[in-house]
Amino acid sequence: LIDLVRSNPQEKKLVFVHARRRGPASRARLAEAGLPFSRFDGSLSGPEKDAAIAEFRDRAPILLCTQSGGEGRNIQFCNTLINFDVPWNPMAIEQRIGRIDRIGQEREVFVFNLVTRGTLEEQVLALLEEKISMFELVVGEVGAILGALEEEREFPDLVLEAWLETTEAARAQAFEALGARLDDASRQHRGAKALDEKLFGADFEAA
């Protein structure tokens, strides 16, 4: 994390962390490294949140943010997002990206995802990158793809169920099956999108 936030020091970086698991440790590591940052999370009052965003915009090169803290805020003056904790829910990842990748963003957006090898987070990230090309989608498309799964349970429940299989072989098989379903859902979405573009043309693209 420290090496990543030090790269391209002229660019501001939005860093998402899990509030309880990583928040205090991340703040300590940034402070020890002498890296100034602003903190933004659900414990702050409205005026404190406004002040944190203003500090990030005007002075601090880093905004350390939690999932709940990032809701409802547009930070288009920043174009670099670092997921120090990758959520199991792709909708939450998309919401994070949406903080900086919105109409009015004039620069290319960069998203970095930090995961530990052999963890569920690594498996989730691989699924999302390989099966639905998550980080190439327009904000809003993830929900359409997950909706095509036709599954009553939430996506995080599905990945946890696969992860808790009792043997490595069973786990691999479960993730392969989930990946195949994601692949099918992604194809359905692309087909529906292509049809809409054909039928409605420029009106659909503008929407």
Tell me the per-residue pLDDT of 152-169, one tens digit each, with 9 for 90 and over: 788 999 999 999 998 999
pLDDT at 175: 94
pLDDT at 202: 56
User: Has residue 204 got a pLDDT over 60?
Assistant: no
Domain residue ranges in the chain: 1-114, 117-207
69, 42 contact by CB (below 8 A) = yes
Domain 1-114 has CATH 3.40.50.300: yes
**pTM of full prediction above 0.95:** no
pLDDT at 134: 83
pLDDT at 97: 87
